[in-house]
Chain A
Amino acid sequence: MVKPIWIFSILVIFCCSCEQWVMPKDPGTDPVEVFDQLWEDVYERYSFFDHKNLDWEQVRAQYRPEVEDEMGQLELYELLADMLFELRDGHVNLSTGFNRSRNWEWYQEFPVNYDENLIEEVYLGRDYWISGPLSHQMIGDILYVNYRSFAQTISTANLQVVLERARRSRGLIIDVRNNGGGNLSNASLLASAFASEETVYARQRIKSGPGTNDFGPWRDMKISPWEEGTFSGPVIVLTNRRSYSATTFFAQMMKVLPNAITLGDQTGGGGGTPVFGELTNGWTYRFSATQTVDLEERQLEDGVLTDLRVDLSELAVRRGEDNMISAAIAVIRQQ
C-alpha cells in the first residue's frame, strides 16, 4: 500500500505546480500582441458596432498588416489611435504617457453656439452668485444658471440656494452648453429638482457577451423628485453640440419633464457608458460598453434633439446679445 506521506508529497508538488496551470501568463508586449489585445477587447465589449454599421473585422484587416515588430512606440500609438478613430465615438481614448487619442468630431464639425465671454460680460456680470459649480444671476425676473462641468459635484446647499432663487423668479434657464459631461449622479440630482413625480426618461442595456448583439435586458432609467423640494415653474435648458455624455443624459431627463423645454442645438451624444482596459505595454484605453435609448427608441449616442432649434447668431453676438438666451426668456414670458 502507498504510504500516506507519499500521497501528500505528490499532492504538495501537484498544488505547487498548479500556479502555472491556473494562472495564465500575461500576454506579450510586442506590437503585434498589443494590437491584438486592443482589437479583441474592443471587438468583444464595444456596444455600437451594429448601430454604427461598423465592420470591426474589416478594420482589423485594414490595420493589422501595418503592424511590425520593429515599429516604435510612437508609430504603434498612431496606428492604434487611427484604428480607434474608426469608432467615431467621443468616449473612446487611448492614453499613453505622451499623448491621448480622441475623436472630437461630434462637435468640431458643427456651429459653436456658445460665447463664454459674452455670457460673463453681459449675463453673469460681476456680481453673479457662485453656489459650488453653479454660477447664477437674475436676468430681470428670470434666473440664469450656468453649469460648466458635471464632473463638479453639486451639494444639497448649492441646489437649495438655486431653487430658492428660482421660486422667487418667473422661470429658470439652465445653460449646459459646452458642458462636456462628468458624473451622471450630478445630472440626476439637478434634474430631480424639477421632477414632480418619478419619471422614466430612457432605457439602457449593457454588453453581456462577446457577440456584437449580446446585451442584457433593457432597464428603465428614472428620475425621482428631490426630497428637499422641487421647482415646478418653467425651465429652459440650453444645449449645443459640445453638451456631451452626462450632459446628454441631463438633456434627456429634462426633455421628458412637462415643465421643461430644451433649446439650442442637439447635444453631441455620448450615450454609451465607457468601460476601461489596459495593454501590456502600459497604455490604457476606454470605449462605450452600453447603449441608451430615449422613449422613442432613439440612441442617445446620436445626441438629444432640442424641442426648439436655435443657433447663436453672429449678428446678435456683435451687438452683445446671446439670442439663444433671448429666445429662452421669450419662451418663459409666453408661459
Chain B
Amino acid sequence: MNYLLAYVFLNEFVIMLIKIVFLFKVGLFSCLIAFQAYSQSSGALHLSTGIQDFTTRDQGFSSMNYGGIRTASKAIFQLNKAHKTELFQFEFAYGNLKNRIGNSLNGMSIGLLNHTFYHRNKPLERKLHWGWSNQNVFHIRSHNGFSNYSLRYDYLTAFGPSARYLWPFQWEEQRFEWETIAHLQVLGFQIKSGYIGADPEGFSEENAATGNFLKSMKPFIIGRDWSMGLNSSLYWSLPSENSLGLRYGLSMMALNEGQPVSRFGSALELVLKVKLW
C-alpha cells in the first residue's frame, strides 16, 4: 500500500515538474521574441511648447473672426520599427481671442493625432514616407460678452492620408535633420454644439450617455468639411543622441455641418527630442 502511494506521489510530482518546465520554456520564448522586437525598434519623445497665431469663427456666436496668440504645447511619442514609424501626438492650446470690435472669447483645444508611416528598413535616409493618420480633437470656447449660450464646442474624429519628408544633413560638422509631416483628414465623425445652445442637436437629458453620443454624431466628409495640418521641424542632434529643434506648424479646420465653424492656426515651437531607447 505504501509502495502504491509512493508511486502515485512520484507520478504527480513528475507531471507537475513537466508543467513547470513547459511554462518556463513558454515564458523564456516569449521574452526572447519581445526582446528581439524591442531590439529592432527605437523610441523617442518630442516635447515642444510655443505660441500659435490662431483665428477662429463660429457662426453660432458671430459672423466675425476672433484671433490672437495662444500658447501651444505638444508631446509626441515616436516609435520607429523596421518598416514603419508611428507617432502619437498629444496637443494642447489655450488663449484669449478678440474680434475687430474688441469682444473676446477664451478658446481651448485638446487633441490626439496619430501618424503611421511605412518605409524600408532605413528610416533615416532622405526620403518621402507615406502613411495614414487619425485625428481626434476637441475645441471649446467661451464667449466673454454673452450672458446666455456663451459656451460652444466641437469634437472631431477622422482618418486620412499622411506623408512625411525626412532630410538628414550635415553642416559645419554638426548633424541636422529636416522633417515635414502633412496630413489631410478624409472621413470620420463630428459632434458640435447645436444651432443656438451648447448641447448638440439630438442631445437630450432623458437619454443615456451612449444614446446622446450616437444621436449627436454627424459625419465628417472631405469636401464639405476640412481638416489638415502641416508641420516642419529642424532638429540639431546633440552628442547625447537627443535633439533640439524648431517647429513651424500650420493647421486648418472647417466644419460646415449646422452652424459653420472654421479655424486656422500657425504655431512656432521649441522642441526637445529625447531618445528613449
Q: B31 on the interface (CB 8 Å rule)?
A: no
Task: Tell yes or no: B230 within 8 A of A by CB.
Answer: yes
- Asked whether any CB of chain B lies closer than 8 Å to the CB of A108, the reply is no
The answer for the CA separation of A96 and B43 in the assembled complex, in Å, is: 58
Assess whether A303 is interfacial by the CB under 8 Å rule.
no
Chain B's closest residue to A18 (CB) is B252
Pair A15/B195 contact, Cβ less than 8 Å: no
In angstroms, how far is the closest chain A Cβ from the Cβ of B15?
63
Scan residues 134-170 of chain B and give those whose CB is less than 8 A from a CB of chain A.
143, 145-150, 165, 167
Distance between Cα atoms of A263 and B254 in the complex (Å): 53
| Given A23-B55, A27-B63: A282 in contact with B232 (beta carbons within 8 A) | no
Residues of chain B with a CB closer than 8 A to A273's CB: 148-149
- Residues of chain B within 8 A (CB-CB) of A280 are 63-64, 100-101
CA of A276 to CA of B194, assembled, Å: 15
Given contacts A8-B182, A206-B196, contact A26 B63 (CB under 8 A): yes
B127: chain A residues at CB < 8 Å are 4
Q: Of all chain A residues, which has the CB nearest B149?
A: A275
Interface size on A, residues (CB 8 A): 40
- CB pair B196 A45 closer than 8 Å: yes
A208-B201 contact given A15-B252, A18-B264, CB 8 Å threshold: yes
Number of interface residues of B (CB under 8 A): 43
- Is there an interface contact between A22 and B226, defined as CB atoms closer than 8 Å? yes
A313 in the interface, Cβ–Cβ < 8 Å?
no
CA distance A224 to B43 in the complex (A): 56
Distance A22 CA – B229 CA, assembled complex (angstroms): 13
In the complex, the chain A residue whose C-beta lies closest to that of B102 is: A282
Residues 76 to 96 of chain B near chain A (Cβ within 8 Å): none
Please provide the chain B residues from 229 to 257 with a CB less than 8 Å away from any CB of chain A in the complex. 230, 232, 250, 252-254
Known contacts A4-B128, A26-B63, A280-B63, then 16 further A-B pairs from the complex at CB < 8 Å, ordered by chain A residue: A11-B182, A12-B250, A19-B252, A23-B263, A23-B264, A26-B100, A41-B63, A206-B194, A206-B196, A207-B195, A273-B148, A275-B148, A277-B62, A278-B62, A278-B64, A280-B64
Residues of A within 8 A of B (CB): 4-5, 7-8, 11-12, 15-16, 18-19, 22-27, 37, 41, 45, 206-209, 214, 216-217, 219, 273-282, 284, 289-290
Residues of B near any A CB (own CB < 8 A): 55, 57, 62-65, 99-103, 127-128, 143, 145-150, 165, 167, 180, 182, 194-197, 201, 204-206, 226, 228, 230, 232, 250, 252-254, 262-264
